[in-house]
Each structure stands twice: as structure tokens, then as C-alpha cells.
Amino acid sequence: MCGLIAVRDFSATSNLEPAVQRALASLARRGPDGEGLATVEQTPRTVLGHRRLAIYDTRTVAAQPMLCPDTGNSLVFNGAIYNFRSLRDELRASGCVFRTDSDTEVLLHGWRVWGEELFARCNGMWALVIWDAASGDLVYCRDRLGIKPLYLCNDGQTAILASEISAIADFRGGYPPPNPEKLFDFLVTSYSEQSHATFFQGIQAVPPGQVYRLSRTGRTRARAYHHWPQPGELEPLDAEALHALLTDAVSLRLRADVPVASLLSGGLDSSIITHLALKASDSPQHRLEGAFTYAYHEAEHAAVDESAKAAAFMHASGRPDLHRIVRFAAIPSADELMSLVGVQGEPFATPSILASFRTYRAIAEQGFKVVLGGEGADELLGGYTVRYHPLAVRSALHQGQWRQAAKLMGHRTFPRSLLLNRMIWDMPLSVITPLLRRLRPSVQAISGDLWSAQRQRMEAIRDNARLDLEQRLRDDQLSSLLPRVLRMADRTSMDAGIELRSPFMDYRLVERALVTPAAERVGERYSKVLLRTAFRNELPASVVETPKNTGFGHAEQFLLRRLPWEPLLEDLPAELGSFIDVASLRRRLSDPHTEHSTLWQALSVALWYRRFYA
């Protein structure tokens, strides 16, 4: 995993390299193990830059940009191709000769032999750029889910592709203006990735699952290499298939030439990942060597500190020696909070990610470079009971299934207070809009100017909120929640030079989950019933039968007023007032009844604006 930049200049700029080098420096934390630059001396001039985090074949011979000796093609690549060894065997059979034991070289030869068909063969996560010598095209592509980031800014004179927006800004000499549509949507919904637009005008995220070609003349072509199935196109998951797919996904992601650890909260997802990794460990390059748990110093957070539960799990697994507990004070300093804001690069939906931000840094300090995590399990398999169970009741009521609705509402885990929240979206906009403006803290903080300019977007927001349970799960996986989770996870892990691997994001598992009925994934009493069933006979009942746990960063999420916001809301640029009513935000944060609240979204926007525009 690494950081990359590629620049294609159509304006005949004489010296691109210094600007590319400056932009590459902003990606240093993503790739602390090396730096490379390659210039294509053809018209239009193209420069590829790379910062390396060495995971497979740590020798310098596997450094990037990597040149194909047979074709002259050049590649920069961020990510990991987990099945690269089996792909290499196929390529060797066709006559390819390899100098390294890296997945990068497999991609280079794979492009030569298979062309655009290469990407459908890959199981992994990636963002890459290839300069194709034969055509002169600049080819760029992301994995099916967009686990690895890639951003594009193309003004017709210069096209810039980079792993992070900061690199584009450094190349351009500054950040473009904020995107008001994106800010409005985020403040109303908390979604940040539903479209390919970013919070910065003129910069977009490259859509996943497609291959793009930028020609010498500036023409862009795109072709999808993957389509997510609809129900009926594949066999749905059952417990046995889920167990087998996840077991293989963990085994594939365990292989590395550097030490591998797991995140262990003590809950279902992380316990399953850690359990399967321990079972699969069979060689120095295929072994789990640590399990890390986030915990608190303060006794007041004992109710959400799961370190004892995680320790008991590791003891029962017979490997307590691998367990590490990292403890922190729940409340960050102003400097630490602003460091997190800078690392994320865009507003983010929850302060709970402070926990993973800290944990990855602690893991890196102990010499680890790869971490297995449970990202995507909740979105894929229905882990959010407060989100999905009210939707199931709403669907039952819409269909006149009164007994089923009453049954669901009778479970002790059912969040009755949120049912009305879901039902409100069935009302006309003339009712919804004033209710949101009056009752939702993040919407209250929207400035009058932004509200007036963007309120027409409420119709699309309402339509999305009306999705039924089946539609909601699919949208959460492919458009809203999961892309948001993946973006936040990439930034917090790569800030520490950690390659985060998520077995639940194996595309084979995602495909099967997408065609499995929502009710079979979510369940009625607990969440993720299919996952619990799959591992009921292997894990302790205390893990399998316990409702969804609090997870990393639970205390931070519910201590909004105690965050060091006061000095950070002083001396803000006056232009922020075009988007946020700062006086209203301050009043609400001073309100003793404000704790866990959508008000964080408004605070996040204010801190983001301070960091990038002050």
C-alpha cells in the first residue's frame, strides 16, 4: 500500500517535476519506505510519482514506478492484490518472466497479456495508473468497491490523479473553493461519499469498478469491468457459504512479508477475524503476530471499555501472548483533534474514528505494517439494529403486516424512539423540511445562505430516505455508508503507514451478500444473524449471542460537548458564515443537553474549514 500521483500536462509546461515532487511529499506518511519519480518524454508530458509502503517483496527491486522491460509501460500502484501468486502462475505459463515477488510486477505483466481484462481477475484493493506505451494512453482504475482512494482534477490543461486531495492541492498551489452541494448534503444526512464529487470544487473521486483511459489528445473513455449482481443472479449466502468465503478471505489477506496484526474490540466481527487468522497461521509469511484492543484510562468509561472481554477471548484462544491493549484518555487535545481533521482531508461523520487514528499509530510504533480489520461487516450483513430494525417495521406497516410489525417492536433490542424518525420521511416535503430545520442540530447550523441556495436538494434526500430495507442495505453497501467507512479507514490507517486489510470486503463475499434477502442477514432479535449462525459452533457464546457491542471510539462519540471546541471556533474565516451559522453552533455546543448529536457534522465542517482555508 502506498501513495501515488500522476500528472498529464496538455499545455507544454516546461518543468513538471518540481511541482510533482512537492505534491508527492504530502503523501510521505502513506509510503515511508521509498520514493520514485518517472517522466515520459513524449507529448503530452506525463509524470508518475510514488511513495512506497513495502509489504510484498520489500527489496528495492520491487520499487515503483515500475517499468515493464517488454513494453515500456510504467505503473504506479496503491493497494494489494491478494491472489497475485495464482495470477503469476498463469502468466508464467504464458511465457512471462518475473524478477520480483511483488504484486506490482504481476499487474504490469497482466496488463501486457490481458489488457483491461486483468482487473476482473484480481482479488484485492487497488488504485493504479499505467502509462501505456503503445497507445500513449494514461490508464487509471480503482478496485470494485473503491477501498483504495484515487482523486482526479482535470481542467483541460492539466490532469492530476492522486491518492489524496492534499497532493492535488500541493501541485496546484492551493485548495479550490468548497463544494456547497456536498456541504449541504453532509449536514442534512451525514453522507459524504454518495456521489463522486468531493467537498472541493473541481476535484472528484474516480468511480470504482471501471477502467479509464485518458488519451494523448485529452479524450477520456471508461469501461466497467465489474457489475454488482441483482437478486436471482447468484446463489444467496447461507451460513456454510459465509463461513467458507470468510475463511478464505482471511487466509488470503494474512500473507505478507512484514508483521501482521488484527484489531480486536471484543465484538463479533473482530473476534471472527482474529479467530480465523490464528487458525490459518502456518508460516512466517502467513501468520498473525498481534491483536490490538483500544481502551480508556478513565474509570468513568469502564462501561464501554471492552479490553477485559478481548483479553478473555485471546486467553480462550490460547494466545494471550499476542494481545496488546493500548489505553488513551477519551478527550483529545485541540492539537490532536485538528491533526485528525487534517489527516481525513474532508469532513467526517463521527469523532469515534479518533480511536482507530490513535490505535494505528500505536500499532505502527510496535513494528507492524499490516492490520486485519472488520470494516464492512455491519453494512454487508446488517449490523446496525437502530438503522435496520425500524426500517423492517416501517416496511411491515406499509404492507399491512401488523402482527409482524408488533413482533419486531416487541424485541428488547428494538429502538422504538427511532421508528418515528423513519416514518417522518413518508410525509410531504412541506412537513419534513421545517421539522428538520427545527429539530436536527446539524440542519439548524446550516447558514441561511446555504439553506436558500441548496434546499431544492431536499427532494433527492427525501427519496433516498424512503428506501425500503432491501434497497437501504444495497445503497448502504455501494453508495452511502460503506464508502464513507472506507474513506475514513484509509486515512486513519495510512496516516500511520499501516496497510488495513478487510476480509469482509472480499468481492466474492460482497456479491453473494447483495443477493441475499435483507431479513436473512439482519435477523429480528439481534443483528447479523447469518454471521452469528455461521460461527456459533466455533466462538464463545459471550461473543456470538451478545447484541452489537460498543466498538472502538464509543466514548468519544458521546462526549461531543467535552471536545476542545471552544478555542477552535475562535478566529474563524468570515467566509465560513456562507455555510455554517457559527453563533448557532456555539450555542448548541454550550447546551448541557447536547451530547451524542448530529451537531458533530456541523462542528466537523467548521474544523475542516479552519484547517484548509484559515
Answer yes or no: pTM beyond 0.85: yes
| Cβ–Cβ < 8 Å for 330, 559 | yes
CA–chain centroid gap for 249, Å, is 18
Residue written as cell 499505467? 130
The H helix count followed by the E strand count for the chain is 29, 17
Evaluated on CA atoms 546, 264, 530, 318, the torsion sign reads negative
300-346: pLDDT as tens digits = 888 888 999 999 999 999 999 999 999 999 999 999 999 999 999 99
Spatial separation of the C-alpha atoms in residues 58 and 384, rounded to whole Å? 40
For 462, other C-beta atoms within 10 Å of its C-beta total: 19
Spatial separation of the C-alpha atoms in residues 556 and 280, rounded to whole Å? 34
| Cβ–Cβ < 8 Å for 157, 11 | yes
- 3-state DSSP helix/strand/coil % of the chain, to nearest 5: 50, 15, 35
210-252: pLDDT as tens digits = 999 999 999 999 999 999 999 999 999 999 999 999 999 999 9
Any bridge partners for residue 483, and if so which? Answer: none
Residue written as cell 436536527? 440
Pairing of strands 370-372, 2-9: unpaired
425-455: pLDDT as tens digits = 999 999 999 999 998 999 999 999 999 999 9
| Residue 275, C-beta contacts closer than 8 angstroms, at least 6 positions apart | 317, 535, 538, 539
CA–chain centroid gap for 15, Å, is 35
pLDDT at 386 over 90: no
Report helix, strand or coil for 160.
Answer: strand
**Any idea what DSSP says for residue 230?**
P
At 417 the pLDDT is 73
**Any idea what DSSP says for residue 74?**
E
At 103 the pLDDT is 97
**Any idea what DSSP says for residue 113?**
H
At 553 the pLDDT is 65
Task: Name the pLDDT band for 366 (thresholds 50, 70, 90).
Answer: very high
Spatial separation of the C-alpha atoms in residues 399 and 311, rounded to whole Å? 46
Spatial separation of the C-alpha atoms in residues 554 and 563, rounded to whole Å? 14
* 2 tagged catalytic: yes
Spatial separation of the C-alpha atoms in residues 47 and 469, rounded to whole Å? 46
Q: Does 103 count as an annotated binding residue? A: yes
pLDDT at 544 over 60: yes
Residue written as cell 437478486? 231
What is the arithmetic mean of pLDDT over 68-72? 92
At 572 the pLDDT is 96
**Any idea what DSSP says for residue 197?**
B
Q: Does 257 count as an annotated binding residue? A: no
Report the share of the chain in percent with pLDDT over 90.
Answer: 82
188-200: pLDDT as tens digits = 999 988 889 999 9
CATH number of 3-224: 3.60.20.10
Spatial separation of the C-alpha atoms in residues 225 and 209, rounded to whole Å? 6
572-605: pLDDT as tens digits = 999 999 999 999 999 999 988 776 678 999 999 9
The backbone region for 298, taken as left when phi is positive above 0, alpha when psi lies in -120 to 50, beta otherwise, is: beta
Q: Which of 332, 345, 335 is nearest to 604 (CA)?
A: 345
pLDDT at 422 over 90: no
For 41, other C-beta atoms within 10 Å of its C-beta total: 6
| Cβ–Cβ < 8 Å for 325, 463 | no
At 548 the pLDDT is 63
At 495 the pLDDT is 97
At 276 the pLDDT is 98
| Cβ–Cβ < 8 Å for 151, 162 | yes
CATH number of 239-381+480-550: 3.40.50.620
Q: Which of 190, 194, 82 is nearest to 479 (CA)?
A: 194
At 291 the pLDDT is 98
For 54, other C-beta atoms within 10 Å of its C-beta total: 20
Lowest mean per-residue pLDDT among 27-41, 93-107, 147-161, 393-407: 393-407
How is the chain split into domains, by residue range? 3-224, 239-381+480-550
Task: Name the pLDDT band for 539 (thresholds 50, 70, 90).
Answer: very high
Mean residue pLDDT of the chain comes to 94
Task: Name the pLDDT band for 379 (thresholds 50, 70, 90).
Answer: very high
The backbone region for 553, taken as left when phi is positive above 0, alpha when psi lies in -120 to 50, beta otherwise, is: left
At 596 the pLDDT is 62
Cell of 135: 497507445
At 549 the pLDDT is 57
Q: In angstroms, how far apart are the furthest CA atoms of the chain? A: 73
| Cβ–Cβ < 8 Å for 329, 296 | yes
Report helix, strand or coil for 223.
Answer: strand
Spatial separation of the C-alpha atoms in residues 198 and 183, rounded to whole Å? 9
256-312: pLDDT as tens digits = 999 999 999 989 999 999 999 999 999 999 999 999 999 999 888 888 889 999 999
| Residue 404, C-beta contacts closer than 8 angstroms, at least 6 positions apart | 396
Consecutive H or E run containing 387: helix 385-398
Spatial separation of the C-alpha atoms in residues 414 and 386, rounded to whole Å? 7
449-503: pLDDT as tens digits = 999 999 999 999 999 999 999 999 999 999 999 999 999 999 999 999 999 999 9
354-364: pLDDT as tens digits = 999 999 999 99
| Cβ–Cβ < 8 Å for 429, 466 | no
Residue written as cell 482512494? 149
At 594 the pLDDT is 72
At 575 the pLDDT is 97
Q: Torsions phi, psi of 548, nearest 5?
A: -45, 130
